[in-house]
Amino acid sequence: MFPRLLAASAALLFGAGVVMAQGAKPNDAQIAHIAYTAGQIDIKAAKLALKKSKNKEVRAFAQDMVRDHTAVNQKALALVKKLNVKPEDNATSKSLVQQAQGTEASLKKLNGAAFDKAYADNEVEYHKTVNGALESTLIPSASNPELKELLQTGLKIFQGHQQHAEQVAKSL
Amino acid sequence: MAPKPYLVATCVIAAFAAPAAAETIRIEMQNLGYSPATVSAHVGDAVEWTNGDFLAHTATARSKEWDVMLLPKKTGRIVLKRPGEIEYYCRFHPNMVGRISVAE
Ligand SMILES: [Cu+2]
């Protein structure tokens, strides 16, 4: 069982690496959509964890993810409405969704401790990736100051999630 | 009711030995941080956190002695019972850390 678990974790980790689409820097409409999509993906993963996991720490973490990402995305929706920006699908958001589907399919095959470990490891990697994208691309590219500010707050929140996920992963 | 004269005298003398009247130290949670992040207090003082963010936070002692959950825009408090250096953090966002130095 142990080698299988390792193999499964490695597969998930590999799948979690999101490559930001290369090319022109994203505009505000695209940035808003990427950030929103990233949040929705994490909410979906958390809901899967709440369905599958019996581990207290994992469940508490998943509940935090649903609550926080929902709150951030509500802010994001209110902001795009206020700014009259129409969120735009783009290569990066599409690749995020595609990779998330792969991760979800792998997670669904796992149960018990194997699921918990894979979910927690994936949450660490996922938040790392999203934080990297925020720092290197999304925040510097955002032109509207309110959007930039929300992304900066988002980065702090998700850095907190990353640390929390690392603690959960270590406890398993 | 006015205190009796001899009682006032006792209090004045006691003031040299006993700690000052209990205070309330107010800490704001804003933009994923405690502000101020470091405070000094005395035993018997209260610490009151107000969450100015749009997310729930906690103020959780590393010692697990207390754990205050604060929904957005809410306030919560504890009373400091013993001297020492207290480190606390947010369980939801462990990158939020604060410190309270409690003197006798
Ligand atoms: Cu927090």
Mean pLDDT by 10 residues, chain A (172 residues): 42 44 79 96 98 97 98 96 90 94 96 98 97 96 96 97 97 94
Q: Is residue A15 part of a domain?
A: no
Q: Is residue A79 part of a domain?
A: yes
Residues with beta carbon < 5 A to ion ligand 1?
B 57, 90, 92-93, 96
Which residue type occupies B87? E
Token pair 């002692």: residue: B61
Please tell me the total count of domains within chain B.
Answer: 1
Q: Is residue B3 part of a domain?
A: no
In terms of Cβ atoms closer than 10 Å to its own Cβ (0-12, 13-18, 19+), residue A53 is buried
pLDDT tens-digit readout, B54-103 = 999 999 999 999 999 999 999 999 999 999 999 999 999 999 999 999 99
Q: Supply the range of the domain harboring residue A90.
A: 2-9+27-171
Q: Is residue B8 part of a domain?
A: no
Q: Helices (DSSP H) in chain A: which residue ranges?
A: 2-16, 28-52, 56-83, 91-108, 112-133, 139-141, 145-171
Q: Is residue B2 part of a domain?
A: no
Task: Name the residue among A95, A167, A115 with its Cα closest to residue A8.
Answer: A115
Q: Is residue A82 part of a domain?
A: yes
Tell me which of B30, B54, B62 to substitute to probe the interface with A (most A C-beta atoms closer than 10 Å).
B54
DSSP structural state of residue A137: I
How many angstroms separate the CA of residue B67 from the nearest CA in chain A? 15
Find the A154 Cα to ligand 1 centroid distance in Å.
12
Interchain CB distance below 8 Å, A160 and B94:
yes
Q: Is residue A134 part of a domain?
A: yes
> How far apart, in whole angstroms, are the C-alpha atoms of residue B37 and residue B24?
16
**pTM value?**
0.83
Q: Is residue A22 part of a domain?
A: no
Q: What is the ipTM of this complex?
A: 0.82
Please tell me the total count of domains within chain A.
Answer: 1
- What does each C-alpha distance from A18 to A28, A141, B11, B88 come to in angstroms? 20, 18, 68, 34
B35 chain-A contacts, CB cut-off 8 A = none
B91 chain-A contacts, CB cut-off 8 A = 164
Interchain CB distance below 8 Å, A64 and B92:
yes
Q: Which residues pair with B89 in a beta bridge?
A: B60, B97
Tell me which of A164, A167, A168 to substitute to probe the interface with B (most B C-beta atoms closer than 10 Å).
A164
CATH of the domain at B63: 2.60.40.420
